[in-house]
């Protein structure tokens, strides 16, 4: 009888533990809305702020809603524009025949440690720079979590072969920011708090500081990453010096001059500010001229330390999802060389060339390190990869953080004038590889498409596309899906589609969307519209293939019924 009672008691305990675990897994996460769409089906439409609404400060978050900021609604879907820019003038449109490859891109999520002592909040609130301060800094991990869960649902409808981040995973080259990024994709427990534990609203899962379980990317989808300028530079602008490294892990708030003036990076004129994670809206504190601002001590955290290029790469070896390293290996982490290539499908002759085109710490002291560049080693590596891919009859995609050919000379976001290879010469060289399909990038937080036409009209296959993916942090907070399709005449179509993360009403990802729109409106940022009249853009991009590639892919892919 005692054995029976003991057995029943053990069974009851196991059932109770299972129930508690199941309950936690249900309540310990933030599920998305059951309806998942691309922008082909519906779009996010900001509702114009009433003309009678007053101007408010970006950190007056409690006043957003009552003054009509950040209001949005669902609108009609966007069509898919068929782009024949690279094709001969007499080209006759063919039909889509077989699906070859399906992947997704995310970019510029800028996972942010809101309580970091080393931010640039002052430049946001007083300088109107949205990347320095935005209310969505409170919710960056939640947005990423919603985006990844959205990808999982899309994968159920149409199998996704891989995903890739196009850089700026972290906002301020911090260890904890990058760990939160990787851990969200790994589906781990996320504690988006730093310093001492804060709980602005007592209880679990009811404020931005609460611990939660990320959904995690479906284990059947391998994912990769690209190095961005924010991943290894202070706020993406300058290599961290000894002073900055101490500030990152210390309790004193960063002091700096006007970084947009010569020598400003090395001055100590202003407190840069910090967000108070113990308040409901993450109140901004201790920013302004040093002479007029009362110093504030902030609980320190060793996990805020700044990562070097090598250390950033090394963190991708510490993961529970596939592939280990996410494209990087131990040699990459030892050398800091952030280039690699991979072939996503064994039955498709295609490789992805992942290129680090950010600046190096040892570049000459310049006003900002946000330019694109290639030194001799990286350029020669790129050309070698392109030569091998062309010789082996493989289609090629270049994935880099910084786009090419879209910024005016001298732009902070454009190509560096002291790069080993000029932008014009790089583009000219790329136009010699008929198997180069496209260059994909982030960095500018825009959804644009550009055609780099063949310099020889008789060889249209020498042209290639460039597709940019917008930021998951700033409006419109989107990811992209790409589907490569073989056509009836063995041309190639690339379906590039924008996707809004699915959000459940009232969730933190939903709140973040409202904040992203409100911040845009408050800063009076003029949205750069695409040909569709939207910040989003869906397109079918057609490319002619060489006779060799046409023959090689004739039997590849899944037939479209």
Residue-wise pLDDT for 225-239, tens only, equals 999 999 999 999 999
What is the model's pLDDT at position 293? 96
pLDDT band at 365 (very low <50, low <70, confident <90, very high): confident
- The pLDDT of residue 166 is 98
> Residue 36 domain-assigned?
no
pLDDT band of residue 490 (cuts 50, 70, 90) is: confident
Spatial separation of the C-alpha atoms in residues 557 and 159, rounded to whole Å: 13
pLDDT greater than 50 at residue 313: yes
- Give the pLDDT confidence score for residue 10 in this predicted structure: 43
534: pLDDT strictly greater than 50: yes
Closest CA to 145 of 78, 61, 211: 211
Closest CA to 122 of 131, 132, 108: 132
Question: Which residues, including other chains, have CB under 8 Å from residue 475's CB and lie 6 or more apart?
Answer: 46, 513, 516, 517, 519, 520, 527, 535
Which tens digit of pLDDT belongs to each residue from 111-170?
A: 999 999 999 999 999 999 999 999 999 999 999 999 999 999 999 999 999 999 999 999
d(CA 220, CA 159): 9
SS (H, E, C) 2-40: HHHHHHHHHHHHHHHHHHHHHHHHHHCCCCCCCCCCCCC
DSSP-assigned letters across all residues of 487-502: ETTS-EEEEEEEEPPP
Gyration radius (Cα) of the chain, Å: 24
On whether residue 217 sits in a domain, the answer given is yes
Position 19 scores a pLDDT of 38
**Residues β-bridged to residue 223:** 163
- Domain membership flag for residue 153: yes
Instruction: For 536-551, give the DSSP string.
Output: ---EEEEEPPPHHHHH
| In a domain? residue 191 | yes
Question: Mean pLDDT, to the nearest integer, of 449-461?
Answer: 96
Of 377, 380, 346, the C-alpha closest to 360 is 377
As a whole number, mean pLDDT of residues 351-356 equals: 98
- pLDDT for 132 equals 96
Q: What CATH number is given to the structural domain containing 367?
A: 3.60.21.10
Q: Among residues 111, 121, 242, which one has the least CA distance to residue 176? A: 111
Question: Phi, psi at residue 225, to the nearest 5°?
Answer: -140, 155
DSSP label at 134? Answer: -
As a whole number of angstroms, the distance between CA 419 and CA 422 comes to: 6
Q: What is the pLDDT of residue 173?
A: 98
- The Cα 243–Cα 328 span in angstroms is 30
For the chain, what is the mean pLDDT? 93
Whether 185 is in a domain gets the answer yes
Q: Quote the domain boundaries for residue 394.
A: 42-559
* Contact between residue 447 and residue 469 where contact means Cβ atoms under 8 Å apart: yes
Domain-located, residue 107: yes
Q: Are 493 and 437 in contact (CB under 8 A)?
A: no
The pLDDT, as a whole number, for residue 2 is 43
Provide long-range contacts, Cβ within 8 A and 24+ apart, for 308-311: 308/232, 308/336, 308/361, 309/227, 309/232, 309/336, 309/338, 309/361, 310/334, 310/335, 310/336, 311/175
Residue 432 lies in a domain: yes
pLDDT (0 to 100) of residue 458: 93
Largest Cα separation within the chain, whole Å, is: 91
pLDDT for 23: 38
Burial class of residue 430, CB neighbours in 10 A (0-12, 13-18, 19+): buried
Using a pLDDT cut of 90, give the percent of the chain over it: 89
What confidence score (pLDDT) does residue 364 get? 85
Return the pLDDT at 496.
Answer: 98
Q: Sorting pLDDT into bands at 50, 70 and 90, what band is 460? A: very high
In this predicted model, which residue has the larger pLDDT, 140 or 526?
140
Is residue 17 predicted with pLDDT exceeding 60? no
Provide the token pair at 528.
């750069």
Q: Is residue 110 part of a domain?
A: yes
Q: How far is 374 from 227, CA to CA, in rounded Å? A: 13
Nearest Cα to 206, choosing from 260, 258, 142? Answer: 142
Query: Does residue 251 carry a pLDDT above 90?
Result: yes
Confidence of residue 22 (pLDDT cuts 50, 70, 90): very low
Beta bridge partners of 484: 101, 494
Distance CA 152, CA 218 (A): 6
Q: Where does the pLDDT of residue 93 fall: very low under 50, low under 70, confident under 90, or very high at 90 and above?
A: confident
Least confident of 238-247, 357-366, 438-447, 546-555: 357-366
Mean pLDDT for 17-25 is 37
Range of weakest confidence among 22-36, 172-186, 429-443, 531-545 = 22-36
- For 282-315, letters b (16+ CB in 10 Å) and e give bebbbbeeeeebeebebebbebbebbebebbbbb
**pLDDT value, residue 531:** 86
**Which pLDDT score is estimated for 21?**
37
Q: How confident is the model at residue 184 (pLDDT cuts 50, 70, 90)?
A: very high
> Per the structure block, which two tokens stand in for 365?
């002291």
Count structural domains, the chain. 1
Q: Residue 317 has what pLDDT?
A: 98
């Amino acid at each position: 009888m005692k054995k029976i009672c003991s057995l029943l008691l053990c069974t009851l305990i196991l059932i109770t533990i299972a129930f508690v675990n199941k309950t936690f897994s249900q309540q310990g996460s933030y599920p998305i809305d059951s309806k998942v769409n691309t922008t082909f089906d519906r779009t996010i439409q900001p509702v114009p702020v009433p003309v009678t609404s007053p101007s408010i400060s970006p950190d007056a978050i409690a006043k957003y809603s009552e003054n009509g900021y950040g209001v949005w609604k669902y609108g009609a879907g966007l069509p898919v524009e068929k782009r024949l820019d690279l094709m001969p003038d007499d080209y006759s449109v063919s039909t889509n025949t077989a699906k070859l490859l399906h992947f997704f891109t995310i970019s510029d999520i800028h996972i942010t440690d809101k309580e970091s002592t080393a931010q640039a909040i002052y430049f946001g609130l007083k300088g109107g720079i949205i990347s320095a301060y935005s209310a969505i800094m409170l919710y960056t991990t939640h947005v990423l979590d919603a985006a990844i869960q959205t990808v999982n649902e899309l994968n159920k409808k149409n199998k996704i072969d891989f995903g890739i981040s196009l850089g700026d995973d972290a906002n301020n080259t911090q260890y904890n920011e990058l760990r939160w990024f990787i851990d969200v994709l790994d589906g781990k427990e996320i504690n988006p708090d730093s310093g001492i534990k804060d709980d602005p609203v007592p209880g679990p899962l009811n404020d931005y500081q609460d611990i939660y379980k990320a959904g995690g990317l479906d284990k059947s989808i391998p994912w990769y990453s690209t190095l961005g300028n924010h991943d290894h530079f202070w706020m993406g602008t300058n290599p961290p010096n000894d002073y900055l490294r101490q500030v990152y892990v210390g309790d004193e708030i960063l002091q700096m001059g006007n970084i947009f003036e010569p020598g400003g990076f090395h001055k100590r004129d202003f407190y840069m500010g910090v967000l108070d994670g113990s308040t409901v809206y993450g109140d901004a504190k201790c920013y302004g001229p040093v002479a007029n601002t009362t110093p504030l001590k902030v609980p320190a955290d060793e996990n805020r330390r700044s990562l070097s290029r090598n250390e950033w790469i090394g963190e991708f070896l510490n993961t529970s999802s596939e592939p280990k390293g996410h494209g990087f290996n131990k040699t990459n982490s030892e050398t800091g060389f952030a280039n690699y290539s991979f072939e996503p499908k064994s039955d498709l002759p295609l490789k992805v060339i992942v290129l680090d085109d950010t600046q190096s710490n040892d570049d000459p002291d310049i006003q900002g390190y946000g330019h694109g560049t290639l030194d001799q080693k990286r350029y020669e590596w790129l050309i070698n990869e392109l030569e091998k891919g062309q010789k082996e009859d493989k289609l090629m995609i270049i994935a880099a953080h910084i786009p090419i050919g879209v910024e005016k000379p001298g732009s902070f976001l454009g190509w560096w004038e002291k790069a080993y290879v000029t932008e014009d010469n790089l583009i000219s060289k790329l136009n010699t590889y008929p198997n180069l399909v496209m260059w994909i990038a982030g960095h500018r937080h825009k959804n644009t498409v550009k055609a780099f036409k063949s310099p020889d009209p008789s060889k249209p296959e020498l042209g290639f596309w460039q597709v940019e993916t917008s930021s998951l942090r700033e409006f419109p907070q989107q990811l992209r899906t790409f589907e490569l399709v073989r056509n009836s005449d063995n041309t190639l179509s690339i379906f590039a589609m924008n996707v809004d993360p699915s959000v459940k009403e009232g969730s933190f990802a939903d709140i973040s969307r409202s904040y992203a729109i409100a911040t845009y409106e408050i800063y009076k940022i003029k949205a750069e519209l695409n040909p569709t009249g939207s910040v989003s853009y869906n397109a079918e991009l057609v490319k002619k293939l060489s006779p060799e590639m046409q023959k090689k892919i004739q039997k590849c892919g899944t037939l479209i019924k």
